[in-house]
Each structure stands twice: as C-alpha cells, then as structure tokens.
Chain A
Amino acid sequence: MNLIFLAGLALLVAVGFLFGRSRANVAAQSEAMHSRPVYHGAFVAIAVLVPMVLVLALGVPAGNHIVETQALGGFAPSLVDDSLKRSALLRDIIAVVNGQYSGNPTPALQRAADTYASMRAFANTLVLGTGLVFGLLGLAYGLRAVSVRFRARTQVERFVKVVLAVAASVAVLTTIGIVFSVLFETVRFFERVSPLEFLFGLHWSPQTAIRADQAGSSGAFGIVPLVTGTLLITTIAMLIAGPIGLFAAIYLAEYATPRFRSWAKPILEILAGIPTVVLGFFAALSLAPWLRESGGILGLDVASESALAAGVVMGMMVIPFVSSLSDDVINAVPQSLRDGSYAMGATKSETVKKVVLPAAFAGIVSAFMLAISRAVGETMIVVMAAGLAANLTFNPLEAVTTFTVQIKTILVGDQEFDSAKTLSAFALGFVLFFFTLTLNVIALQIVKRYREQYD
C-alpha cells in the first residue's frame, strides 16, 4: 500500500515539476519572469509533495490506531488496557491475518482478525485516496500560481530552509530525547539508592536479591571503583596513543615523503577499522598472558585480566584517531608559516615544535578529545581483557572494570525491569554521558581560549 502511495507521490511530483516548468516557459515567452522556469517547476512539485507527505505522516498512524481499536473491540478491557497483553493480542491477530498463526485461533481471535483485515484494507484505501486528492489539489494550486510575477524562487528557498531546519531539529530533539529518557530512569534509580551512596560509595556489586528470602546479596552501588577503573584504562590508553599518534602524525605530515605518506596513512586508518572484538581477544589471548609471564619473570604479580592489557590494546585502537586527525590539522598549517620559521634559521624540529604544533594546537586537542571519548566509551576490549571485578585500585596490573562494561553486564541476561540493578545501568549511562560532555566542554574552552589568543 505504502509502495503504491509512494509511486503515486513520485509520479505526481514529477508531473507537477514538468507541467510547472513548461507553463512557466510559455509565460516567459511573453514577458520577463521574476523566477526562472525551473523554480516554478520546483514550486509546483513542492505544492504536490507537502500535502501528500502530510497525509501519509498523519494518515498512517491514525489509520493504525483506528484499525487496532476496532479489531480489539471484542476483547475484555482487562486484556486491552494492559500494554503488554495488548501487544501480544495484536501480534496474534496479525499472525492470523497473515496465516502464520500456529494452532487454531479461537473464534474471538478469528473475528478480530477478520475485522482487522477489512478495516486495514479500508484505512489503506482511505489514506491513498486522500493523499491523491490532496496531491491533485496541490498540483492545481501550484499550477495556478505560475505567473510572470509569482516569486517562485523565494518560495523554493523558503522550502529548502524549512527542510534543513527540520533536519537540524530532528538531530537536536533525538539527543534531547535520549538524554531525558536516560535521565528519567536515573531519577527512578535514585528513588531506590541515594545519590550520595552512588557517587561516593567504594563498593560496586549490583547483585540485589531476586527473591526476598535470598540472603547476603543486598547490592552495593558505589561507582568509585568504576570511575577509577575507567580512568586507569583510559589513562594507559592515552599514554600510548597520545605520543605515538602525535609523533606518527608529525612524521607523516612533516618528514615523510609524499609516497610513503600516501600508503602509510591508509594503513594507519585500517587500524581504526579493526573490530574491537578482534582487538579484545588479541588483548585477552595474546597480550594478557604475555604480560603475566613477563611480569612473573620480574617478580610482579600480574592478574590474568589486567587494566594494563586492556589499556595497551585500547591505546592501539585509538592511535589512528589521534594520528589521522592530527595529521590533517598539521597539514592545514600554511606553508608560509614554516617558510617564515626556516627563513629565521630555525631547524625542522624547532619549526615543528614552535610554529607548526602551536598553530595546529586546537585541532590536536580535538583529536585527543575524540580519542579519549572513544576510549571511555569502549566496551568490548575491556570486557575481554580487564575483567568484571570492580576493584578499587590504581594498580594497572590488577583486574578492573569500567562503566561501559558494567552497563553491558547489567543489561545482558534476564532482568526484572525496575530492579535497582537494572536501573543502575541508566544511572551509569547518565554519569558516562555527563563525563564525556564535561570533557567536550573543557576541550571547547581550551580551543576557544587558544583561538582568542592566537587567531
């Protein structure tokens, strides 16, 4: 049905455009027009498009609602009012309609399915018909508007602006929506666990009692061990990715021959494309045992899952983020600045250190921030290499855990939806979000301060 609708829409839009344009062409022969004929064509097309899209956007959900209420009309309110039962019923009805229902439907179900099918056909026809009528009305309206004086170009520009604004608002609203839904669940979590305990508690073990008679599993929701774990791993990762990525970028941008650069850079970027699961088992199966052995030789006690292994591999993962972006910004530094420095008798490394890097500083900060956000948000490597134990430690040789890993652990598997344990995932998510947001704001401030000073 929707396919027919879309085909009709495309057809009418095309017809509108062609008619509008040819009409404008005719008009243009007698007198100079305000807008060029394509704009008149585009205006007519828009006059068709907008009402039809509106009909589709409003008609389909309205139709669905009516069809469902009608189909469910024969059932007891107790079934219909509960959202879970209601959707189960609907699934059954649709299965019957499609002939995929296993077993024999009850008479009530069969009746509902019949209603559903006929109502559905009716609603579809209604939407299609209304759409076509509105499309034709739009066509007529648009064609009538075509005239020498009509400012079609202005109208089309306005339409373009509206479309762009809608796209922008969708992006913004989605973000706000996500934040609020997380925030909402977080508030529910804080109804059970006090924020103070959550933020400053030193123990994390979210195993709440599933049955009331279970003992010894009251659950502890202190995120400090997660904060330290996340920071520890991120710090290790950035200690590796920061220098290596930046130095690689400097080499690529300033020292390497164009030929070397042209194949080295893509290879570096492939590193960014390696799935993190693969990096994770590299960390868990190759690096971690090796670290454990070499630690053993040195007389160190390295846990088989360690922050070090996860951090090192995560560092490797984010190297390309640092290097590729830094390379781009270093390249964007104008050659004339380098020339100015060379002409003062500066060496290459002095020029890089004192002119090129400061000039590229803002971009390099963003590269680092991107890398840090990636590291903080990374889950797979940590799950596989650093473990799940929420140890409060700064020792990189011990197992630690991070926000993302805990969120994943909490939400995987069967959970009672409104237990404190499940809700804590949202609170963790919110804190994580807040954390990256803060990072971004700080980075922006640094960049802005720097720009003010040096632009």
Chain B
Amino acid sequence: MNAVANIELPQPAREPAADAHVTSATDPHIKVVARSVNVFYGDKHALKDVSIDVPERSVTAFIGPSGCGKSTFLRCINRMNDTIPIARVSGRIEIEGQDIYDSSLDVVQLRARVGMVFQKPNPFPKSVYENIAYGPRIHGLARNKGELDEIVVTSLKRAGLFEEVKDRLGDSGTGLSGGQQQRLCIARAIAVNPDVILMDEPCSALDPIATARIEELMDELRENFTMIIVTHSMQQAARVSQRTAFFHLGVLVESGPTEKIFTNPDDQRTQDYITGRFG
C-alpha cells in the first residue's frame, strides 16, 4: 500500500446506519459498541453488517478463516481504515458512548486512546528507547527526561522485553529478532497508556515461550485495559479471552463468552470452524 495517496487522512464516506441510534451504551461495562458496520474496499464488500458489544477490562478474541474481515473490523475501531484510500466505512462505532466516526471527533486523540499492534511487527528505524518514547513525546506525557525514562522502562517491563534489551536501549529497534520486535511494538502501544488495545495476531511470529509471555501480558493488561485480539490459534483464544467472536466471509457469525463459543456454539458454522472442519 502506498500512502502517497491521501491528503490529510480523508474521512471515509459514511452512510447513516438504519439503526444508528439503537446503541446499547446503557451498560457501563461495555467499552466498544458497533452497530451495522459495513466496510467496502472499492466495490468489494469486506465486512457485512457487523454489530458487537465489547466489554471493558477483558480480552475479546476475533477468530475466523483468513480473509474473513477480522483485521478490517479491527482497523475500524481506531479508524486506521482512513489511511486506505479505497476503504469506505458505514455504520456506527462508539467507544464509551462516543461515536468515533463523528465528524467532530479528533482522529489523533482517538488513536491515542485506542492503541494497535499490527499483524507484522513494524518498529520504527530508531533506537529501542526512541521507539517507546515516540508516543509519549508526541502526546506530551512526560514532563522531563526522568519521567520519559520511567515510561520507557515500565512499558518494556510490561511487554516482557526489558531484561533482553536493557543493555541496548540505544540500539536500533529493527535489529531485534522478530519476536522481540513484536514485543517492542506492544510496549510502544502501551506506553501511551491507551484505554483499548487492538492486537492483530500478535503472536504469529513468536515461539511458544514468547507467546506464553505475551499471553501472560494480556492477562495482566486486562486488569486495566480493554483488549481485542485477532488470532488464528483456537487454543490461544480459549486461553486468554473472555469473549470470542467468530467471523466468516465478512459476517460476524456469532459472539459470546469464550467458553460457550468453544463448547456449545449456536451456529453450525462456528461448530465446524472450531472443530477444524473448515477454515
């Protein structure tokens, strides 16, 4: 993808959803509410009428076969689809009752609140320290060098990377191993202290040990943050998430408590997927 394209992060055209006002922000524990979200890439209808409630301080897992729209939906939640010129989003997404596609909303603030870890690790070509300090600097979270150091160290520790890199904070982030890079990206995302963290297959490049560490981290982060993760590993979804949503061909087939989805799903397609009959 080439970013040349867009002037000033164009706002994707949106059409008012039929039931735009039927939001269930009534439950104070619901962090993210999506209603009738549709996404088009040009003519391709990639996400069809997705509605879901994501509770706060919990991990919600998105599962489903490749190409079913998990990443697409994830990108809707922090409006990263804005950077794709051909993407068009309609429907309504609210975070704590605030419509994030409202024209008065500041995308920059939204993204500071809704952090994202990408499917492929993408550390900046800067030092490890600078990678983490990037967000706090932009948002003015540290008043002095001491505070910044503090943020960097805490974030690295929480991402389980500190011990490995504490002697080379000045080395380039791109020089780390793939798994370390992924954890660096996680540390970078939590450094700005977001409310919601979106993780797109954060463990796809990791060995079992690093994966276990990240899963531990998710468990720990869940106490303060709302987490949404995309994963291809059913075991991982079962291990770390409280709720699971199953996507298929752009449709949200079923969502509910993880236990229920994995033991007693309502839909036959979910049943087939979790038992490995397709996907």
Contact = CB atoms under 8 A, between A and B. Distances in A.
Contacts of B22: none
B182 interface: no
A331 B1 CA distance: 10
A162 B3 CA distance: 44
A454 B4 contact: no
B70 interface: no
Contact of A334 (B111, B122, B126, B192): B122
Interface stretch (A124-132, A211-219, A250-258): A250-258
Given A257-B5, A257-B7, A454-B174, A339 B122 contact: yes
A455 B172 CA distance: 7
A454 B123 CA distance: 11
Contacts of B118: 336, 339-340, 343
A348 interface: yes
B135 interface: yes
A254 B118 CA distance: 21
Interface string B159-203: 000000000000010110000000001001100100000000000
Contact of B8 (A253, A255, A344): A255
A340 B120 CA distance: 10
B126 A335 contact: no
Contacts of A342: 9, 80, 83, 111
Contacts of B2: 331, 335
A399 to B, nearest CB: 44
Contact of B4 (A256, A347, A354, A355): A256
B250 interface: no
Contacts of B83: 338-339, 342
Contacts of A455: 125, 172, 174-175
A344 B111 contact: yes
B64 interface: no
Nearest to A344: B135
B134 interface: yes
A57 B105 CA distance: 76
Contacts of A256: 4, 7
Contacts of A348: 8-9
**Interface size class, chain A:** 20 to 34
A343 B3 contact: no
Interface string B115-147: 110101011111100000011001100000000
A350 interface: yes
Interface in B228-242: none
B35 to A, nearest CB: 24
B115 A344 contact: yes
Nearest to B131: A340
Contacts of B115: 343-344
Interface in A316-351: 331, 334-348, 350
Given A335-B1, A342-B83, A453-B172, A358 B126 contact: yes
A345 B108 contact: yes
Contacts of B3: 254, 335, 338
A337 B134 CA distance: 12
B204 to A, nearest CB: 14
A336 B123 CA distance: 9
Contacts of A238: none
Interface in A84-127: none
A256 B110 CA distance: 25
Contact of A255 (B7, B185, B189): B7
Contacts of A254: 3-4
A261 interface: yes
Contacts of A253: 4
A312 to B, nearest CB: 30
A119 to B, nearest CB: 67
A343 B78 contact: yes
**Residue of B108, B118, B174 most packed against chain A (CB within 10 A):** B108
A257 B6 CA distance: 6
A343 B8 CA distance: 15
A343 B116 contact: yes
A359 interface: yes
A70 B125 CA distance: 71
Given A345-B112, A455-B172, 16 more contacts: A255-B8, A331-B4, A335-B1, A337-B124, A341-B124, A341-B134, A342-B83, A342-B111, A343-B118, A344-B111, A344-B134, A344-B188, A345-B135, A359-B124, A454-B125, A455-B175
24 contacts: A258-B5, A261-B4, A331-B2, A331-B4, A335-B2, A337-B122, A339-B80, A340-B122, A340-B124, A341-B124, A344-B112, A344-B134, A344-B192, A345-B110, A345-B139, A346-B108, A346-B134, A346-B135, A348-B9, A354-B134, A358-B125, A454-B125, A454-B126, A454-B172
Interface of A: 252-258, 261, 331, 334-348, 350, 354-355, 358-359, 453-455
Interface of B: 1-9, 78, 80, 83, 108-113, 115-116, 118, 120, 122-127, 134-135, 138-139, 172, 174-175, 185, 188-189, 192
> Which 9 A-B residue pairs are closest in the complex by CB-CB distance?
A345-B112, A336-B122, A345-B111, A343-B116, A344-B135, A454-B125, A340-B122, A335-B1, A359-B125
